Structure 1
Amino acid sequence: MHTHSFPEITLLISHYNRSQSLARLVHLVDELGLEFGNIIVTDDGSRPEHVEKLQNLQREKGFTLLTVPKNMGMGHNFNKGQDAVKTEYTLFIEEDFVPNPSFVPALSKALSILKENPEMDIARFYAYFKYPYLRPIGDGFAEMQFSPFKAGYRKFFMYSDHPHLRRSTFFQKFGRFREDTRPDKTEYLMMMSFLHNKGKGVFFEAYQDLLTQSNSSEEPSTISREFWRQTDNIFVTAARNLYRHFKMNRDYLMGRK
C-alpha cells in the first residue's frame, strides 16, 4: 500500500455517541495510506459505552483522545479540539463521513493551494449544494467569490462545518466557536464571522465525490432540526427560502453576532 504523508496536517475528528462510525473513519484513513502529523479525536461527553470503545480504539491506533465528563456543546467540542492542534494545518472531519480514494489527491492539491496562496483560509471538500459563485482554478477546485450584492442567500455559505482543510491559525482571524448556543447557530455565527473578516477559500466543484456522509439506524445523526428546516413541502420551502434571504442579508449588513 502506498503511503501519503501529510506531516503539516492534523486530522481533527469531532465525535459524539457514534463510536462505530468513528472506528470506520479511522480504519479507512489507514486503508487509504493517509499519515498525518497527528490525529485528534475530540469527544463531547459521549455515553460510557461509546467512551469505552473510543479508549479501546485509541490503544489500537494511538491517536490523541480528548474527553469531557459531560456534554458541553458542539462549540466547546470544536474549540478544545482545535486548541490541541500543533501543526500548521487542520483537516476537520466529523465522525460520520467516509473518505473515498479520490479524496487523497484532492487533499494534496488543497494543501498546495493553501501553501501557495497565503490569503486563502480554507479548502472545502463536501457540501449539500454547490456554492453559487465560483472561479475555477484547476484540478477540480474553484475559488469562492462573495459579494453582498450577488443574488440569493446561498452566497453566504462560504464557511461550513462539513469536511475542510484550514489553517490552524483560524481562530486568530475568525474567533472561536460560540459555546452558548445550539449547533446550527454555532455554525451560522462562524459563517458570518468568516464573511465579516473577509475570509477566502476554495471549493471542490464535484462536492459529493470525495466523501460520503453515512448515518445508520444504529448510529443516526446526533443533530435534530425542526420540521420547517427539513420538509420539501413547496409552500414551506418557498417561505423558508424567503426568510433565509432576508435574515442572512440583514445579519450580514448589520454585523449581527
Structure 2
Amino acid sequence: MPDNIETPEKTNKKIYSDVTLLITHFNRSTSLRRLLARFDELGFAFGEVVVADGGSKPDHLETVFELEKKHKFKLLTTDVNYGLGHTINSGQNAATKPYILYVQEDFVPKPAFVSALTDGLEIMEQEKTWDIVRFYSFPWAKFPYLKKYKKGFSEMRFSLSPIYTNHHKFYMYSDHPHLKRKTYPEKFGNYVESIHGDVTEMAMCKTFLKKQGKGLYFDDYTALFDHINSEDEPGLFRPINEKNKKYRHNPLLYKPYLKYKTFRETVRYLLDI
C-alpha cells in the first residue's frame, strides 16, 4: 500500500493525501450532491477536492454553494460556459497534489473502487511509465486491445496496423473516471477549449496517441462506477451515439459502418485533422 494512504481504525477512512479529487460540474447539482455523498459513504478522504463549475444556472449554483459549505471543497466558477475543456483546464491548474482523480458529476462510485484506486495509485507511484489509469468505459465501448498486467489492470495497446480493426483503439484516453499525474499537461498540453465536449475529448485522444501516452485499464470496468442520468439532469446528447444505436441492431449495416469508422479515424489521425 502506498505510504500516502492511511486507514485510521476509528474512522475506517481511506485517506489519499497525495490525490486531488477533481469534479467538473454543469447544471447537475443533484448529481453532484449524490457523488459527494457516495464518496463520504465509502470512506474516501482526499488531499483536496476541487469542483470546477462550467457556468451553471443560478438554481444549480445555489445548491453548489451549499455543498461547498458542507464538504469544504475548493470551488471554481465562471460566468460563461466555455465548454468542458476550459473547465478541466481550470481544475487542473487549481490542483496542488501530485495526482488527480478526475470524475464528472454524473458518476457514482461503487465499493470495489476503493481497492481499484488504491492499486492504481500504487502502480503509478512505483512505475513512472504510466500517464493514465482508467476506471470506466461504456459497455459498448470497451477498449479493444489489452495486455494483461496486474492487480486487475491491463495495458492499453495501439497500432495503425489493419489487423487492429476496431476503431475504439483511437480512444485510449477518455473523459470517464481516471487517475493521472498533476504534471499531465506538461506532456500532453491543455485541453482544447470548445463549447462541444466531444471536440475536446477527441482532440485529447489524438494528442495522447501522438505523444505516445501509456495507460492502464481496469478489466472489470463496470464494477467501479455507475453512470446515472435522470430526466431532470440528462446526459449529453451525442449524435454519434444515436448513429451507433441505429446501426447496432442491423448486422448488414453495422459491420460496414464500423469498418468505415476505423478507416475515417485512421485518415484523421494520419492527416492530423
Q: Same fold (TM over 0.5)?
A: yes
Give the one of 192, 196, 209 matched to 1:178: 192
Residue 242 of structure 1, aligned match among 259, 262, 271: 259
**CA-CA distance at 1:137 after TM superposition:** 1.5
Deviation at 1:47, TM superposition (A): 0.4
Question: How far apart in 2 are the matches of 1:130 and 1:201?
Answer: 14
Structure 1 portions without partners, runs of 5+: none
Displacement of 1:130: 2.4
From 86, 107, 110, the counterpart of 1:97: 107
User: Distance between the aligned counterparts of 1:5 and 1:247, measured in 2?
Assistant: 45
Alignment of structure 1 residues 29-40 onto 2, 5 Å: 29-40=39-50
How do residues 8-157 of structure 1 correspond to structure 2 at under 5 angstroms? 8-128=18-138, 129-149=141-161, 150-157=164-171
Identical-residue share of aligned pairs (%): 41
Task: Measure how far apart 1:133 and its partner are.
Answer: 1.4
Deviation at 1:89, TM superposition (A): 0.5
CA RMSD, 1 decimal:
1.4
Deviations 1:142-185 (A, max 9, x none): 11111111332121111000000011111111111111352111
Structure 2 gaps, min length 5: 1-10
Question: Deviation string for 1:117-148 (max 9, x for gaps)?
Answer: 10100000000132211111222111111111
Residues 191, 78 of structure 1: CA spacing in aligned structure 2 closer, same or farther, 3 A cutoff? same
Alignment of 1:207-246 (within 5 A): 207-221=221-235, 223-226=236-239, 227-231=242-246, 232=248, 234=250, 237-238=254-255, 240-246=257-263
Cα distance in 1 between the residues matched to 2:80 and 2:257: 34
Superposed displacement of residue 246, structure 1: 1.4
Preserved contact between residue 228 and residue 236 of structure 1 (Cα < 8 Å): no
Query: Matched residues in 2 for 1:156 and 1:180: separation?
Result: 20
Quote the Cα distance in structure 2 between the aligned partners of 1:228 and 1:151.
19
Amino acid at match of 1:34: F
Q: What is the aligned partner in structure 1 of residue 201 from structure 2?
A: 187
- Contact kept, 8 Å, 1:130 with 1:205, in 2: the verdict is no
Name the SS for the 1:78 alignment partner: helix
Distance 1:220 1:139, change over 3 A: same
Match of 1:204 among 193, 212, 218: 218
Deviating above 6 A after TM superposition, structure 1's stretches of 4 or more consecutive aligned residues are none
SS at match of 1:208: helix
State the Cα deviation string for residues 10-58 of structure 1 (Å, max 9, x = none): 0000100000000000011111111111101111000000000000110
Measure how far apart 1:233 and its partner are.
5.0
Is contact 2:147–2:155 with CA below 8 Å preserved after alignment?
A: yes
Provide the C-alpha distance between the structure 1 equivalents of 2:89 and 2:154, rounded to a whole number of angstroms: 28
**Under a length normalisation based on structure 1, what TM-score does the superposition of the two structures give?**
0.95
Alignment partners' CA distance in 2, 1:215 and 1:181: 21
- Report the CA distance shift for 1:178/1:104 in structure 2 as closer, same or farther (over 3 A): same
Question: Once structures 1 and 2 are overlaid, which stretch shifts more, 132-141 or 203-212?
Answer: 132-141
Return the alpha-carbon distance in structure 1 between the equivalents of residues 75 and 245 of structure 2. 33
Could you tell me how far apart the structure 1 residues matched to 2:257 and 2:103 are?
28
Say if 1:196 and 1:255, in contact at 8 Å, map to a contact too: no
